[in-house]
Amino acid sequence: MDILVFEARAESVKITFIAALLISVVFLILLIFLNRNKRIQASFRQFGMLLGGFLLVLCLGTAIFSFWQWSRLGPVSISDNYIMIQGDSLPMNEVIQSRIVSEPGSRGLMSVEQGEPDVFLHIETRSKKSYVLMEENYDIAEIRTRLNEILQVEEQ
């Protein structure tokens, strides 16, 4: 049969990366301005440098990890004989199971309210390696349907 390729949808990761990078540049300019402007009272300048430096590190960390996640998102290729995920090519007889998992999400760090659930596809292999594909990045229902069709044909 033919090879099915599922491309990753990485719009949210791209937007997060670009926004964090732009905000980092703004904080860097603010820090340079605070450092060079001697007319600002010393205590305000120290507080501004401390706060701005902290926020700069936070935004740079967000940009770095968003870029890392973006670079790890790649196409998922499925054929009758193998599946290629994140650069790893696995024979179909290595795949033990695939299941869709839904975990409750929260609205914030300390929020008691439940947000939208996080839904992902968990693919487990015989070598105890797991692959997780998020619903926001891939069409996991179609990938799971295709995997189950191939795995059921192999079992018979």
11-35 pLDDT per residue, tens: 888 999 999 999 999 999 999 998 8
Residues 65-90, mean pLDDT to the nearest whole number: 88
Q: How does the average pLDDT of the chain come out, rounded?
A: 85
Q: Can you give the pLDDT at residue 108? A: 57
d(CA 89, CA 79): 11
Q: Can you give the pLDDT at residue 146? A: 87
Contact of 123 with 95, CB cutoff 8 Å: yes
Contact of 17 with 63, CB cutoff 8 Å: yes
User: What is the Cα 30 distance to its own chain's centre?
Assistant: 29
Burial 30-62 (b: 16+ CB within 10 A, else e): bbeebeeeeeeeeeeeeebeeebeebbeebbeb
Q: Can you give the pLDDT at residue 149? A: 83
Contact of 89 with 82, CB cutoff 8 Å: yes
pTM (2 decimals)?
Answer: 0.72
Q: Can you give the pLDDT at residue 17? A: 95
92-138 pLDDT per residue, tens: 888 888 888 888 765 555 555 666 778 889 989 888 888 888 888 89
Q: What are the residue ranges spanned by the domains of the chain? A: 11-72, 82-155
Q: Calculate the alpha carbon distances from 17 to 12, 23, 75, 110, 135 in Å.
A: 9, 10, 20, 24, 19
Contact of 143 with 95, CB cutoff 8 Å: no
